[in-house]
């Protein structure tokens, strides 16, 4: 599973987990919200657990000009760069990659984390509502996770992405959810990456991550 972890999505600098959103409008332009992720340099500091082990992380997004090539199919896309620094038991792993996207509808085309040789590509696109209300949800595309980033790599898993706008802990959250079925074993990986959406539609400082894979469970949120 990618993301960006779940899928590419960034946000405001590490925030205060106890600060609720003060004013909530009747609807949100989620396409404008996602545009910030793809086009604005941002980062979060996170903490949580992998199983019962405490972990910390920094997730950063840095938009780039021009295009970059997705290695599996050799095609060039508009992109932004993602970096995840994950620290477990004093050991830090740094994963960097590109998030390729369609700037007209703010949908992910592909993700390439070449540092750990994980790649994925969308086969269908969803649609973010421009007037979403709390409780709304929708499709966010589907595609393939590959066994590697090598050209013509085989499919490891088939994924389906959805979005959901919900209220939790006094905040409005845009959650990007994934269900990913592994071809060989039939195991279904499940993940969610939630971002606070402020009254003006911009990304707030709070975010959370959850992920269930064959290797265990990860759960993190902003400090």
pLDDT tens by residue, 44-86: 999 999 999 999 999 999 999 999 999 999 999 999 999 999 9
Q: Say what the pLDDT of residue 115 is.
A: 83
Q: How many CB atoms lie within 10 A of CB 102?
A: 14
The Cα 64–Cα 60 span in angstroms is: 13
pLDDT of residue 92 exceeding 90, the answer is yes
pLDDT 10s digits, 97-134: 999 999 998 999 999 998 889 999 999 999 999 999 99
Stretch 29-42: mean pLDDT: 94
pLDDT of residue 18 exceeding 70, the answer is no
- CB distance 144 to 159 below 8 Å: yes
Q: Which of 217, 158, 216 is nearest to 186 (CA)?
A: 158
Q: Say what the pLDDT of residue 2 is.
A: 38
122: Cα separation from own chain's centroid: 14
The Cα 202–Cα 28 span in angstroms is: 9
pLDDT of residue 12 exceeding 50, the answer is no
Binning the chain into helix, strand and coil, the percentages to the nearest 5 are 5, 60, 35
Tokens (6 digits) for 200: 């003006």
């Amino acid at each position: 599973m990618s993301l960006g972890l779940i899928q590419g999505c960034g946000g405001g600098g590490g925030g205060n987990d106890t600060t609720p959103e003060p004013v909530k409008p009747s609807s949100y332009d989620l396409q404008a919200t996602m545009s910030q992720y793809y086009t604005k340099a941002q980062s979060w500091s996170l903490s949580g657990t992998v199983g019962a082990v405490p972990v910390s992380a920094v997730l950063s997004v840095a938009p780039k000009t021009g295009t970059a090539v997705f290695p599996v199919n050799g095609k060039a896309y508009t992109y932004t760069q993602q970096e995840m620094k994950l620290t477990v038991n004093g050991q830090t792993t740094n994963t960097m990659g590109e998030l390729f996207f369609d700037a007209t509808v703010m949908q992910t085309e592909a993700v390439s984390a070449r540092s750990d040789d994980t790649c994925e590509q969308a086969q269908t696109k969803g649609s973010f509502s421009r007037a979403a209300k709390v409780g709304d949800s929708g499709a966010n595309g589907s595609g393939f996770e590959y066994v590697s980033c090598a050209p013509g790599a085989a499919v490891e898993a088939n994924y389906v992405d959805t979005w959901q706008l919900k209220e939790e802990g006094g905040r409005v959250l845009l959650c990007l959810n994934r269900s990913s079925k592994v071809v060989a074993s039939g195991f279904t990986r499940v993940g969610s990456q939630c971002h606070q959406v402020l009254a003006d539609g911009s990304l707030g400082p709070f975010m959370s991550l959850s992920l269930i894979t064959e290797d265990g469970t990860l759960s993190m949120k902003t400090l």
